[in-house]
Amino acid sequence: MRTGRKRSLGKGRGGGEAAFAELLKKKGLKVTLERQKIYEEVASMNNHFDADELFERFKAKGLPISRDTVYRNLPLLLEAGRVQKSAGEGKREYFENMEAGGHHDHMICVHCGTIVEFRSEAFEALQQKLCEKHRCKLIYHDHRLFVECARCSNNVEKGARRAVHENHEAK
């Protein structure tokens, strides 16, 4: 790398940076400039994204961060609680910034593919409790409710024939 930017991980005021720096330290991993950039880019994301999108962003910015590096490091961000897995359209793994809009889960209509985000403290609390009971530490979770939304429910009742899971085919 050629930029002379100073290191910032571990000095940040937000909890996120510290958590990531701690994780790297605990694992004996190096704080590379690439990891910092990935961290920063993710922190600036407001929408769902996938690994490839992230890679493309760096490319667009002229930052020489390879696809491999993005793929290699995203799991670290998951583990640090910096991102969560998320619902998306294709078969890719989707992620989202935990700090933008806070944590939430998803309801997906199996017919039309509509995605509704929801947030439930009750679920969060239950999960924590369950993990404690099993003496595990919750890192992140993936919770998706596949539903038939009210609109589609109507259509099906009316006898409308539609392709099976047409959303699965949609790009």
Q: Select 11 or 119, whichever has its Cβ closest to DNA.
A: 11
For residues 88 and 109, what is the distance between their CA atoms, to the nearest angstrom? 12
Q: What angle do CA 95, 32, 102 make, to 5 degrees?
A: 30
Contact status: 138 vs DNA (CB under 7 A): no
Residue 37 token pair: 């950039």
- Residue 64 binding target from DNA, a copy of itself, none, CB below 5 to 8 Å by type: DNA
To the nearest 10°, report the CA torsion of 12, 59, 68, 24: -10
Contact status: 53 vs DNA (CB under 7 A): no
Contact status: 4 vs a copy of itself (CB under 8 A): no
Which residues are CB-contacts of 32 (< 8 A; sequence separation ≥ 6)?
Answer: none
User: Could you tell me which stretch among 86-94, 130-138, 141-149, 150-158 binds DNA (CB under 7 A)?
Assistant: 86-94
Q: Which residue's structure tokens are 């294709």? A: 90
Q: What angle do CA 26, 52, 75 make, to 5 degrees?
A: 20
Work out the number of other CB atoms within 10 angstroms of the CB of residue 98.
Answer: 20
Contact with a copy of itself (CB under 8 A): which of 19, 51, 107, 112? 107
- Residue 61 binding target from DNA, a copy of itself, none, CB below 5 to 8 Å by type: none
Binding-site residue total for a copy of itself (CB under 8 A)?
Answer: 46
Contact status: 30 vs a copy of itself (CB under 8 A): no
**Phi, psi angles (nearest 5°) of residue 50:** -120, 170
Give the shortest CB-88-to-a copy of itself separation in angstroms: 13
For residues 54 and 131, what is the distance between their CA atoms, to the nearest angstrom? 31
Where on the chain is the footprint of a copy of itself (CB under 8 A)?
26-29, 72, 75-76, 78-79, 107, 109-110, 116, 118, 120, 122-123, 126-127, 130-131, 134-150, 153, 156, 159, 161-162, 164-165, 168
Where on the chain is the footprint of DNA (CB under 7 A)?
1-2, 7, 24, 28-35, 50-52, 64-69, 71-73, 90-93, 168-169, 171
